[in-house]
Structure 1
Amino acid sequence: MRYLPLTDADRRAMLDVVGAASIDDLFVDVPAQARLDAKIAELPDHASEWAVERHMAGLARQNLVAGDVPFFLGAGAYRHHVPASVDHLIQRGEFLTAYTPYQPEIAQGTLQVLFEFQSQVARLFGCDVANASMYDGSTACWEAIGMARRITKRKKALIAEGLHPHYVSVAKTMARFTGDELVTCAPELTPDGDVDALTAAVDKDTSCVVVQYPDILGRISDLSALSAAAHEVGALLVVVVTEPVALGAIRAPGDMGADIVVGEGQSLGVGLQFGGPYLGLFATQQKYVRQMPGRLCGETVDASGKRGFVLTLSTREQHIRREKATSNICTNSGLCALAFSIHMTLLGERGLRELAMLNHARAVEAAEVLAAVPGIRVLNNSFFNEFTIIFDTDARDVARTLADQSVLAGVSLGRLYPGEEALANGLIVAVTETTTSEDIAALAAALKEVLA
């Protein structure tokens, strides 16, 4: 029997309140080409449970498992080794069943975990305070732009050419509803980033400058001068970090004057997971804390003077202030934040630095080997564990050919920037501690054969 909780009269009453003539009117913002106008022909009306399981298992066998082949994909999602103890601990019943910790007297464990997570993120990013996580890096990036608008009362955001195009896309989608002006462009294949051009473009109408560090091409820039230029005209510097492991080897953005630092926490504890769920990181300086979106856990003492933890500044959240809230996000990626925090705790500061240096060393090895292959040019003057190589042919074709040979060579810029022919020959190669010298040799041999 179908479960129909609403009557036609119920639906009509709700549509009248929101001012929609029909349910279809609620989906007008979804592009027509993305909507189904008929049943999916390939799907049967029904099937037995065992038949569905067998069919889905067959589809799953078509996947190429990251750990089974030479793997050089990155561009915002990275394959790192996650200790088995992380998965073991996050599956403890008290973590899996925990929900929103609105009642601190019965949620001390969850609140303490989130407090420790915030402390780790704040220290990693070089900021005073961090929130208890957000959905993912791209939504955290948009929230930073919105926060800068609230602080500066301006609506023009300068976005560096090296910001991940998916992050730019999310920001453009949200800006349609807020009126923010986003000034951005596709990157140029130059060895260094566009920090000087950004610095020159900052003016008194700028709310913030958004720059990725390292950027989508793997380039690393000193952001100190950009920070000074932004602050001189009352604008904020927003730094996006898609690979937090890098901060074990390079300067924290907050140490270079960043006002807001956001990022993707997937690299630590979470795993690739076919693209999600992931973990948004968000940190800022103390003077801006009241404009920071999302939830914030704080330390206090109870009536007996014992240490305790509570949610603080929650009056900013949507579930309380509705349309007056700083954000529509009033939850956090709690389980992924827990995994991140456990992995960070297991590493410690020394372990994180060692992991970062191992990543960089493997990437340097790969860059040197690939640079010796005829028909390949390494773009970067600087990089952490990810760099861009340039071919004399379309990198999309090269990547597909190697994938058919079970070598996942990297992410082609033509895939990230369709229509940008100037970028079509670029390939982003990511190397982590899971990459072996044998993997690098296999990639070089495959490229040598394809490019011959």
Structure 2
Amino acid sequence: MRYLPLTDTDRSDMLATIGASSIDDLFVDVPEEARLKGPIEGLPLHASEMAVERHMRRLSKKNLAAADAPFFLGAGAYRHHVPASVDHIIQRGEFLTAYTPYQPEIAQGTLQMLFEFQTQVAKLYGCAVANASMYDGSTSCWEAVAMASRVTKRNRAVLSGALHPHYAEVVRTMAKFTGDEIADAPVAIQPAPDNDGLIARIDDRTSCVVVQYPDILGRIPDLAQIAEAAHEKGALLIAVNTEPVALGAIKSPGELGADIVVGEGQSIGVGLQFGGPYLGLFAVRDPKHVRQMPGRLCGETVDAEGKRGFVLTLSTREQHIRREKATSNICTNSGLCALAFNVHMTLLGEEGLRRLAAWNHSLACKAADRLAKVPGVTVLNDTFFNEFTIQVGRDARELVRKLADQGILAGVSLGRLYPQSGGLDDALLVAVTETTSEEDIEALAAALEGELA
């Protein structure tokens, strides 16, 4: 296929048609400081393919890969072991190249996979119905807020201060275009979540309360108490889960009264992969809310011969129906990642997930106990699954950089997640999974002892 570039006249005609004076007018919503003013300094305008490959290899050697060091990063992206069989199955041609199954008669395999994926997510979340995946956890969170507004006919969303700040920022950004009022609060650095403070912010105008479970500090809030308070005011409870492995050990959000459960599915079947792609999960506890769900829903039926078959039962994305009737305009559903989740979850089964969760929690307890013995370290949490917060009495960002120079990826500093907030600079979020060895834990503890001495 030939590349046919636009001429200056073509560009002028297109801009005139949409009423823009220049191409820069198309980027007015991008902050000025985030826009390039010209070519990137030091980057040549062109180079040979071999020169680019050599340059990229040199750059890659500066990385410290997750598998090459004691690894304690989390905060919504977790390193778990993904069996080789997952990658083998998702790379089969019939799955790897499949797209949206517009023609169900020739896409039965894809539809069956999505149906089974929905079943797994619904059971994991303790809900009646799950959709066929979404873009990622943060956009799923916003879609839940938008759905709550449609269901309750209200437009005030109350966010827990312990909701992941990136998720909260996505909600605030999207709400600018819908008129929803977002009532958020600063995160409280304390051993237990501030459930009472959150409940006090719920009023008769509230459409939903958004709570992370476990929260950004690793604590486990009492969803049942919050659900009761929300329902008394006619609001919905949205539970956000960024670590699905935790649900092999703690009660499901739906079981505790959450009306909409959303989250990130990356932990199961999908590697870290330099930050993407990810997998948004979305489920509702009450079947009557199904028609307000975003995305699409695969269903089971029988064909004219009475044989089992699968179809797209509901498709509420603008890709399928008129834009003004769509419940979502985020069309990507991360189907290949959903398949990876489906395969990995199938290999684990319920018993395997519970054992994996127990393994994660046991190692996290060992890490918390060991780090608590380091002079200058305080473990904040009363409760946690495989992630907890420690306070180190100094700037955690600087400490993380120093430990990285020693070949240890020590965790995520809360000062990095909350750069505008005071009082968080000495806090470090530490995640432990089945990929963490006891030698890794000892290496982290020893390094902290050396730096904090």
- 1:258 and 2:266 matched: no
Match of 1:130 in 2: 130
- 1:24 and 2:24 matched: yes
Asked if the contact 1:293–1:317 (Cα under 8 Å) also holds between the matched residues in 2, the reply is no
Q: How is 1:159-178 mapped onto 2 (pairs within 5 angstroms)?
A: 159-178=159-178
Instruction: Using the TM superposition, give the Cα deviation of residue 334 of structure 1 relative to its aligned residue in structure 2, in angstroms.
Output: 0.5
CA distance in 2, matches of 1:17, 1:108: 43
Alignment TM-score, normalising by the size of structure 2: 0.97
Instruction: Using the TM superposition, give the Cα deviation of residue 188 of structure 1 relative to its aligned residue in structure 2, in angstroms.
Output: 1.3
Asked if the contact 2:268–2:340 (Cα under 8 Å) also holds between the matched residues in 1, the reply is yes
Asked if the contact 1:378–1:387 (Cα under 8 Å) also holds between the matched residues in 2, the reply is yes
3-state SS of 2:298 partner: strand
Instruction: Using the TM superposition, give the Cα deviation of residue 20 of structure 1 relative to its aligned residue in structure 2, in angstroms.
Output: 2.3
Match of 1:68 in 2: 68
- 1:282 and 2:274 matched: no
Instruction: Using the TM superposition, give the Cα deviation of residue 317 of structure 1 relative to its aligned residue in structure 2, in angstroms.
Output: 3.5
Instruction: Using the TM superposition, give the Cα deviation of residue 45 of structure 1 relative to its aligned residue in structure 2, in angstroms.
Output: 2.2
Instruction: Using the TM superposition, give the Cα deviation of residue 318 of structure 1 relative to its aligned residue in structure 2, in angstroms.
Output: 4.2
Point out the more displaced range, 442-451 or 390-399.
Answer: 390-399
Match of 2:295 in 1: 294
Instruction: Using the TM superposition, give the Cα deviation of residue 443 of structure 1 relative to its aligned residue in structure 2, in angstroms.
Output: 0.4
CA distance in 2, matches of 1:327, 1:28: 24
CA distance in 2, matches of 1:297, 1:260: 18
Instruction: Using the TM superposition, give the Cα deviation of residue 84 of structure 1 relative to its aligned residue in structure 2, in angstroms.
Output: 0.5
Amino acid at match of 2:392: F
Instruction: Using the TM superposition, give the Cα deviation of residue 331 of structure 1 relative to its aligned residue in structure 2, in angstroms.
Output: 3.6
Amino acid at match of 2:203: D
Asked if the contact 1:75–1:428 (Cα under 8 Å) also holds between the matched residues in 2, the reply is yes
Alignment TM-score, normalising by the size of structure 1: 0.97
Asked if the contact 1:318–1:329 (Cα under 8 Å) also holds between the matched residues in 2, the reply is no
Asked if the contact 1:100–1:331 (Cα under 8 Å) also holds between the matched residues in 2, the reply is no
Amino acid at match of 1:349: E
Asked if the contact 2:295–2:316 (Cα under 8 Å) also holds between the matched residues in 1, the reply is no
CA distance in 1, matches of 2:396, 2:7: 54
Instruction: Using the TM superposition, give the Cα deviation of residue 3 of structure 1 relative to its aligned residue in structure 2, in angstroms.
Output: 2.8
CA distance in 1, matches of 2:73, 2:291: 38
Asked if the contact 1:318–1:324 (Cα under 8 Å) also holds between the matched residues in 2, the reply is no
Identity of aligned residues (%): 72
Match of 2:4 in 1: 4
Match of 1:145 in 2: 145
| Superposition CA RMSD, Å | 1.4
| C-alpha spacing 1:439/1:324, structure 2 compared with 1 (3 Å) | same
Instruction: Using the TM superposition, give the Cα deviation of residue 323 of structure 1 relative to its aligned residue in structure 2, in angstroms.
Output: 3.0
Instruction: Using the TM superposition, give the Cα deviation of residue 136 of structure 1 relative to its aligned residue in structure 2, in angstroms.
Output: 0.5
| C-alpha spacing 1:315/1:158, structure 2 compared with 1 (3 Å) | closer
CA distance in 2, matches of 1:12, 1:108: 46
Amino acid at match of 2:81: H
Instruction: Using the TM superposition, give the Cα deviation of residue 319 of structure 1 relative to its aligned residue in structure 2, in angstroms.
Output: 3.8
Match of 1:338 in 2: 339
Match of 1:52 in 2: 52
Amino acid at match of 1:300: T
Amino acid at match of 1:303: A
Equivalent residues, number: 452
| C-alpha spacing 1:316/1:84, structure 2 compared with 1 (3 Å) | closer
Match of 1:39 in 2: 39
- What per-residue deviation string (whole Å, max 9, x for no partner) do you get for residues 51-81 of structure 1? 1111101111111011111100000000000
CA distance in 2, matches of 1:181, 1:262: 20
CA distance in 1, matches of 2:103, 2:229: 44
Asked if the contact 1:318–1:326 (Cα under 8 Å) also holds between the matched residues in 2, the reply is no
Asked if the contact 2:227–2:257 (Cα under 8 Å) also holds between the matched residues in 1, the reply is yes
Instruction: Using the TM superposition, give the Cα deviation of residue 15 of structure 1 relative to its aligned residue in structure 2, in angstroms.
Output: 3.4
Unaligned runs of 5+ in 2: none
